[in-house]
Structure 1
Amino acid sequence: MNIASDLYSEVARVQGTISGEHGDGISRTPWISSQYGPLVSVFRNVKKLLDPLNLMNPDKIISNDPQPLTGFLRETRLHQAAAESAPALLPVMQFAWQPQAAADAAVRCNGCGSCRVPLPTERMCPFVDHSHSEDFTPRAKANLLRRALCADAPADLLQSESIKPVIESCFNCRQCEIDCPSEVNIPHIVLEARAQFVRAHGLTRTQWLLSRVHSWGKLASRFAWLVNPLLRYRATRHLLQRFTGIAAERRLPAFAARPFMETLRVRREDNSGAPGSNRPTVVYFVDYFANHHDPELAEAFVRVLEHNGFRVYIPREQTISGMNMVSAADLPSARETALKNLRELVEPARERYPILCTEPSAALCLTREYPALIGSEEAQVVAAQTQDAGSFLLDLHRRGLLKKDFTPLPMKVAWHTPCHIRALSREAAMPQLLRLIPQLEVTEFEKGCTGMAGTFGLAAENFSASLRIGSDVIRTMQTIDAVAGTTDCSACRMQMEQQSAIPTIHPIKLLAFAYGLMPRLEKRFRNKPAGLSLS
């Protein structure tokens, strides 16, 4: 303020003006009277006449506050009463960061509003795109955590029911982070806030069940001969919705009678990561969907890797990535899952074996969420070695190490880039790999997020919102001229097939089929999604 006073005093002395091409606004309001003199009373009367309740731009141009600028500055330091005299007043952080680090992440948002402006080249936030509510914006989430840590907010702010619209308008797609000009870590900001709420109130029954779908997936696989036919009937599905909250109209995948992790390939003795092999070794992290619903994908990936000269080690005690638990903000359970996987993966990672994932959300969980959950050297080591399958294979191709003995596939497929692939890398590797297959035409369409977001679109309470967010993708899949859709995200596949008459096939399967490694995959082009079932 002293600098501004000195500046504007000099401006008045030389009979200049306090503003040029810009408006006066809050920053110049204290000097309006010195600039305009008696006219200020006219300004005040006009303001009172047109805006008697002072709703429009309060404290701009006309203000009773001698220093309105400082009244609008955000508090960016930890709340002093909590930070100095009573540290227990600060929330116990659920991620592995200190309150100051969380506050710094929130303060990094400068409120520019880019997250409110939809651009064709960006996805930003699917909730904002389809609701335009300020409560849903990424900056609202940053402000919420900043207020809880820095401002004189109620101590139980993050436990209040009033914050639910803010914290529940996020399914961890991470598009806000990559499209934000300041690269604010909104995903971890909102997950921290949501975890504080969950810590106080717990998960709903549907959230709890869907975040642990792997647990009852094991049981369903054992009785796949009974479960799969029952899931095709609407009466069964309405009962399922009533007792579990899974949307009755959602097309669901069949359960595999034998999960991939129970197959001979995994159980045999030569499934080993022991040093000394004459072939380069990679580690395959399978995750839930390929294990319980699509073991054919896991087998196809292993065969593609072996065809290219790799020894594939599949740790027997690995479990799901835990991304569903992270997205539900059940961070203690996610941390327990992460620790179990780290015990299986850290030694291969120390041997510098690449850890490969056919599920993008699994790769994102291992690389971004585990370090944030655990904060250990082991988590960093595993994160450094983890890649999605497409990026690994594309790197092989660019180094001239990927075999290209593909048979022609005279067909057209439609590619969708998952949000988590965009979060992992600005470059989508799979369509570039598919174009190596002779006569295969790959059409890429950019229609934003599918709205499925892991288990978000499975819940009946989110079903309509999921379809609304993914409407452009759904319409494209209904009308596009292609034999099949293709994407490397299982959740995206579910939405792409929700109202489509053509199947969506994982690109790894297309590569395996073109290599001639799995001729039986030809039937996948004939299998169509129908009724309440995926292809």
Structure 2
Amino acid sequence: MTNETNENDDPTAQPRATDGGSAVEPVDDASAGENSEIVEVFPEGDLDLRAGADDCYKCTTCDISCPVAEVDEEFPGPKFQGPEQWRLKRKEDIDIGDSITSCSNCMRCDSACPSDVPLSQMHNEARGEYVDEQMSVLSREYIRNRILSNYRTSARFASKVPRFANFMMNFGPVRWVMEKTLGVTKEREFPEFAEQTFREWWHDRGGAQVQNADKRVAYFHGCYSNYNTPEVAKAMVRVFEYFDYEVLVPPQQCSGTPMFANGMLTDARRHAVTNVTELAATIDDGADIIASCTSCSLSLRQEYPELFDIDRIEDVAGNTFEALEYLRIHEDLEEALSDAELDGQSFAYHGPCHARNQGLHRQAVELFRDVDDVHVEDVGDSCSGISGTYGWKAEKYKTSMKIGEEMFDHLERAEGDTGMTECPTCAMQMEHGTGYEIRHPLQLIEDALLA
């Protein structure tokens, strides 16, 4: 993604290593000419994405693929937020435009670009600079975004008193106050906190029920599966144990996905250090890393190595898989499901944008299409619109719902009476817009194999 530097060219050179980027390649002054000047895109220590910006030839494919640009005429689109903004930085010291906060971090522009321009990486860096240098830490938006980004912190406290938290978070007057004071929309129903978190369940059951040094996986469950939908995490464990895997559940922090989307890169890096350290240790124990959330797997695989320079970060990225993806690689799932009985269930499947970025948005449909008595219908390639914390912001709520209209329409016309997706926030939007019950593919596999 970034410029590569051959440090052997000049053993005395001191390359300007960046936190997640490569050092800037030294320039030969003689060949450059006496009157030439070295132009630094950003001051020393920041990421230099000049090569990525120069690869953009302004075809606007990214703008056409952007769900925000499609519904918001004032949003300039990913081409401006990425390459254009970085080019302007080379000419003069200008501020990042505040429209960067309207980017939802769906990252569809990455997969759309025919030139492999690191668009989302540019957007993440731009958001980080905007938050650090232009947003007041006392502003309502900063405080709100900091709270939303660090969902794990509030969820940890709420999970201690889940019934009380569930009542208060969905009590009308409380939601009204939150919108007026923090700008968190009152239109959405807050997801319920489980009365027993996944990690509490894991501890109570005595950890792994299968011991197998030859088939070992480390589960990165993420915040939402731990605090809100432990049934998904339990399904993941049971399904992998069915295939004789030893499941490890290492200490972990948030993947950082909501922090990237809100420009809180310092927070994201702090969490990433813990995650990389703990997950790298499981690799040394012979484990691959598995995530049941496609945003979590994308964060570990792509955003970490793009943005941070942490020891063994490439090892973690290279050994991370989405759960269903991993099973399809290593097990004969089709054969295992061939005798499954699922009572004629019909599902309307939505492929998350962050699954699309990993080439995984068709895997659930492909897996279940040949299973007897199961009908899975892909409801199209539209974005759900919620994009994590984006759709929880009062000023973005209408935009998120407008983006989701195509998905809602497809869901309403689908034969399925239950929704299915791998992304927890897409599931929120699907349920919010249609009233569907939403399930994770792992839960369906669990029903098929273990019922």
State the TM-score bracket (shorter-chain normalisation): 0.7 to 0.9
The match for 1:193 is 126
Q: TM-score, normalised by structure 2?
A: 0.85
The match for 2:56 is 109
Contact 2:81 2:123 in 1 (8 A): no
Which one has the largest radius of gyration? 1
The match for 2:277 is 343
Equivalent residue letter for 1:235: P
The match for 1:455 is 389
Task: Write the distance in 1 (CA, Å) between the matches of 2:330 and 2:177.
Answer: 48
Give the SS at the match of 1:337: helix
The match for 2:301 is 367
Task: Write the distance in 1 (CA, Å) between the matches of 2:335 and 2:409.
Answer: 39
Q: CA shift at 1:471, angstroms? A: 1.1
The match for 2:5 is none
The match for 1:147 is 88
The match for 1:125 is 66
Equivalent residue letter for 2:240: L
Identity %: 26
The match for 1:256 is 194
The match for 1:303 is 238
Equivalent residue letter for 1:180: C
Contact 2:340 2:449 in 1 (8 A): yes
- The 1:289/1:426 distance shift into structure 2, 3 A limit, reads closer
Deviations 1:122-143 (Å, cap 9, x if unpaired)? xx21122223557224245311
Task: Write the distance in 1 (CA, Å) between the matches of 2:449 and 2:61.
Answer: 45
Give the SS at the match of 1:312: strand
Task: Pick one of 2, 20, 43 that aligns with 1:91.
Answer: 43
The match for 1:158 is 95
Task: Write the distance in 2 (CA, Å) between the matches of 1:448 and 1:347.
Answer: 38
Contact 1:409 1:439 in 2 (8 A): yes
Give the SS at the match of 2:377: strand
Task: Write the distance in 2 (CA, Å) between the matches of 1:442 and 1:93.
Answer: 49
Give the SS at the match of 1:499: helix
Q: CA shift at 1:172, angstroms? A: 1.6
Task: Write the distance in 1 (CA, Å) between the matches of 2:109 and 2:173.
Answer: 39
Cα-Cα RMSD: 2.5
Task: Write the distance in 1 (CA, Å) between the matches of 2:418 and 2:205.
Answer: 35
Q: CA shift at 1:252, angstroms? A: 2.3
Runs of 4 or more consecutive aligned structure 1 residues displaced over 4 Å after TM superposition: 267-273, 397-405
- The 1:267/1:378 distance shift into structure 2, 3 A limit, reads farther
Q: CA shift at 1:221, angstroms? A: 1.1
Contact 1:82 1:90 in 2 (8 A): no
Q: CA shift at 1:270, angstroms? A: 5.0
- The 1:380/1:306 distance shift into structure 2, 3 A limit, reads same
Matched, 1:288 2:223: yes
Contact 1:338 1:370 in 2 (8 A): yes
Q: CA shift at 1:369, angstroms? A: 1.3
Contact 2:379 2:414 in 1 (8 A): no
- The 1:225/1:386 distance shift into structure 2, 3 A limit, reads same
Equivalent residue letter for 2:155: G
Matched, 1:182 2:119: no
Give the SS at the match of 2:432: coil
Aligned residues: 413
Task: Write the distance in 2 (CA, Å) between the matches of 1:434 and 1:237.
Answer: 40
Gaps of 5+ in 1: 1-76, 119-123, 518-535
Equivalent residue letter for 1:241: E
Deviations 1:275-298 (Å, cap 9, x if unpaired)? x83551111100011011001110
Q: CA shift at 1:213, angstroms? A: 1.1
- The 1:270/1:279 distance shift into structure 2, 3 A limit, reads farther
Give the SS at the match of 2:124: helix
Task: Pick one of 254, 261, 271 that aligns with 1:327.
Answer: 261
Contact 2:215 2:245 in 1 (8 A): yes
Task: Write the distance in 2 (CA, Å) between the matches of 1:455 and 1:283.
Answer: 27
Task: Write the distance in 1 (CA, Å) between the matches of 2:303 and 2:227.
Answer: 23
Q: CA shift at 1:476, angstroms? A: 2.6
Matched, 1:244 2:182: yes
Task: Write the distance in 1 (CA, Å) between the matches of 2:183 and 2:36.
Answer: 43
The match for 1:138 is 79
- The 1:223/1:134 distance shift into structure 2, 3 A limit, reads closer
Task: Write the distance in 2 (CA, Å) between the matches of 1:401 and 1:219.
Answer: 43
Q: CA shift at 1:334, angstroms? A: 0.6
Task: Write the distance in 1 (CA, Å) between the matches of 2:105 and 2:283.
Answer: 26
Task: Write the distance in 2 (CA, Å) between the matches of 1:134 and 1:413.
Answer: 34
Task: Write the distance in 1 (CA, Å) between the matches of 2:398 and 2:314.
Answer: 38
Equivalent residue letter for 2:423: C
Q: CA shift at 1:83, angstroms? A: 3.6
Equivalent residue letter for 1:312: V
The match for 1:9 is none
Any residues of structure 2 matched to 1:334-483 within 5 Å, and which? 334-397=268-331, 402=336, 404-425=338-359, 428-483=362-417
Q: CA shift at 1:436, angstroms? A: 4.8
Contact 1:279 1:309 in 2 (8 A): no
- The 1:491/1:134 distance shift into structure 2, 3 A limit, reads closer
Equivalent residue letter for 1:516: L
Contact 2:375 2:416 in 1 (8 A): no
Tell which deviates more after alignment, 430-439 or 395-404.
395-404
Q: CA shift at 1:387, angstroms? A: 0.6
- The 1:311/1:140 distance shift into structure 2, 3 A limit, reads closer
Give the SS at the match of 1:494: helix
Higher RCO by CA contacts (8 Å cutoff, separation 6 or greater):
2
Equivalent residue letter for 2:229: D
- The 1:184/1:242 distance shift into structure 2, 3 A limit, reads same
- The 1:251/1:434 distance shift into structure 2, 3 A limit, reads farther
Q: CA shift at 1:323, angstroms? A: 0.9
Contact 1:308 1:403 in 2 (8 A): no
